[in-house]
Amino acid sequence: MTAVADLVHGKPPAAAAALVKQELGRPSTYFFGQLYHTPEVQALKGQPVFEVVELFAYGTLADVSSLSAEAQTMITPNMTNKLKRLTLVSLAQHDRRLSYDRLFAGLQVDEGRELEDLVIDAITEGLLAARIDQRGRTVEVTYAAARDVKREAVGALKEALVAWRARCTSTVAELDALVQNSRANRDMQSALTKGIIDAESRTADECKKELLAREAQGLDDDEYAPGARGGAGGFRRRA
């Protein structure tokens, strides 16, 4: 059990509710999954505070409208800013390249400066690692903290991970085949290049042998010219 969950351990409902409200308003506390699952908090089910802690554990800004009116009034401006950062984390977990327009809609902000401040705050809090591209009006995410997952969603998450592993295995097999094919092509090219070099070497050796043989027989081309034999006048020794 985490330190946050320890706070409510053994507490009666009223005290547990007060502690939950305190943690929801604490600027440095962002993850409430374990707190949500404690028996003390589960005992608050049906109360507005339970709706709010569930929202902060698993929800986003878009889910606020589904809360009861009393639960919505519990959300202070500081808590809204915290929820916006958590919403940003959720968006970043699904897409590493987020356009300003998508973030405007998801975070319910209208100005680029306000959006950029939210991203910078999330980075400062260690929730994100990202680069703001003002010219391209995008946020390039390299890391996003993992948010809590509802227990009933674990099965779907497991299926997604199994499918991802299968895709990775298939991709690795395809890459191995490409590597093997590349090696085979390289070996073939190497053998072909060696064959060409060997053929050129043999041709050069044969030409050298032929020239040496002709010189040995005194048939150097410089000593003879066309003459009467085989043409007009054959061969004549040059003067």
pLDDT tens digit sequence for 148-162:
877 665 666 567 667
Q: 75: pLDDT confidence band, cut at 50, 70 and 90?
A: very high
pLDDT for 58 equals 95
Strand 97-99 and strand 138-144: the pairing is: antiparallel
pLDDT for 141 equals 97
First to last CA, the chain: 113
Cβ-based neighbours of 75, under 8 Å, separated by 6 or more: 52, 64, 83
Whole-number mean pLDDT of the chain?
85
Closest CA to 107 of 118, 121, 122: 118
Q: Does domain 77-148 have CATH number 1.10.645.10?
A: no
pLDDT tens digit sequence for 213-231:
777 776 555 554 455 444 4
pLDDT tens digit sequence for 185-208:
888 888 888 888 888 888 888 887
Q: 180: pLDDT confidence band, cut at 50, 70 and 90?
A: confident
Token pair belonging to 8? 């409510």
pLDDT for 231 equals 46
Q: Which amino acid is at 216?
A: A
As a whole number of angstroms, the distance between CA 158 and CA 216 comes to 86
Whether residue 45 is predicted with pLDDT greater than 70 in this model: the reply is yes
Whether residue 232 is predicted with pLDDT greater than 70 in this model: the reply is no
Mean pLDDT over 72-83 rounds to 96
In 10 A of CB 202, how many CB atoms? Answer: 10
Whether residue 37 is predicted with pLDDT greater than 80 in this model: the reply is yes
pLDDT for 219 equals 52
The number of C-alpha atoms within 13 Å of 227 and in the hemisphere containing its C-beta is 10
pLDDT tens digit sequence for 113-132:
999 999 999 999 999 999 99
Please, which residues bridge with residue 139 across strands?
A: 98, 132
Mean pLDDT over 68-93 rounds to 96
pLDDT tens digit sequence for 165-176:
888 888 888 888
Closest CA to 105 of 88, 86, 124, 126: 88
Q: Convert the chain into a string of H (helix), E (strand) and C (coil).
A: CCHHHHCCCCCCHHHHHHHHHHHHHCCCCCCCHHHHCCHHHHCCCCCHHHHHHHHHHHCCHHHHHHCCHHHHHCCCHHHHHHHHHHHHHHHHHHCCEEEHHHHHHHHCCCCHHHHHHHHHHHHHCCCEEEEEECCCCEEEEEEECCCCCCHHHHHHHHHHHHHHHHHHHHHHHHHHHHHHHHHHHHHHHHHHHHHHHHHHHHHHHHHHHHHHHHHHCCCCHHHEEEEECCCCEEEEECC
Percent of the chain with pLDDT over 70: 85
**Do 23 and 35 contact (CB within 8 A), yes or no?**
yes
Please indicate whether residue 20 or residue 166 has the higher confidence score (pLDDT). Answer: 20
